[in-house]
A and B are shown apart, each in its own frame.
Chain A
Amino acid sequence: NAGVTQTPKFQVLKTGQSMTLQCAQDMNHNSMYWYRQDPGMGLRLIYYSASEGTTDKGEVPNGYNVSRLNKREFSLRLESAAPSQTSVYFCASSEASGRGSPLHFGNGTRLTVT
């Protein structure tokens, strides 16, 4: 049982390049999330998908787009990378069946934009 799988694990981009971060979960969860984690800032929500077919902005959505491809997969795209997007990106999923459903996280993608 893999849980939440993120690819790639590491990536280096030049300013202006684009890339897509992939995320897949095998727990049949309804909701999926993208967070970024920066030193001194904690985890901040970028986008989320409450259910298949829906996506919504979180706290820090600027510069990103997302696609909920199916119930299992949720991708995050950087169209034109900027140094401020250097961060560790975590995907998470949740049953979201009611109050108190925990999020289950992948092990992250470490992105450096030069």
Chain B
Amino acid sequence: EDQVTQSPEALRLQEGESSSLNCSYTVSGLRGLFWYRQDPGKGPEFLFTLYSAGEEKEKERLKATLTKKESFLHITAPKPEDSATYLCAVENPGGGADGLTFGKGTHLIIQP
């Protein structure tokens, strides 16, 4: 059973058209939820960590929010350079050193 489910799988937006990406999770006792950006041919790049429901974090045009069951990555007035695959992950329960479990990602395309 998937612990982390991302939707939609792919999203195509016009430049300036705001939207949200969803990450739902089923782990109990969430220790940390992470958002990453991945460009083609590159490794994932860390964006945010969220710890508890109600928490929000922002970076440029991106804002991540967290509830008890899901997280959203809001993209405001996106630009073509925001095109990438966005990955959500939850911390594995083994105390912080045993890695993350990732969702399959949302492939975002911003058209000029």
Contact = CB atoms under 8 A, between A and B. Distances in A.
Contacts of A92: 43, 99
Given A48-B97, A104-B46, A106-B43, A99 B32 contact: yes
Contacts, number: 73
B96 A103 contact: no
Nearest to B43: A105
Interface stretch (A14-22, A36-44, A66-74, A78-86): A36-44
B97 A96 contact: yes
Contact of B91 (A40, A58, A100): A100
Interface of A: 4, 30-31, 33, 35, 40-45, 48, 50-51, 56, 58, 90, 92, 94, 96-108
Contacts of B49: 100, 102
A100 B97 contact: no
What bracket does the count of chain B residues touching chain A fall in? Answer: 20 to 34
B44 A43 contact: yes
A35 B35 CA distance: 17
Nearest to B102: A43
> Mostly helix, strand, loop or mixed at chain B's interface?
loop
Given A45-B99, A100-B51, A40 B43 contact: no
A41 B101 CA distance: 12
B43 A31 contact: no
Given A99-B31, A99-B51, A58 B97 contact: no
Contact of B97 (A31, A35, A40): A31
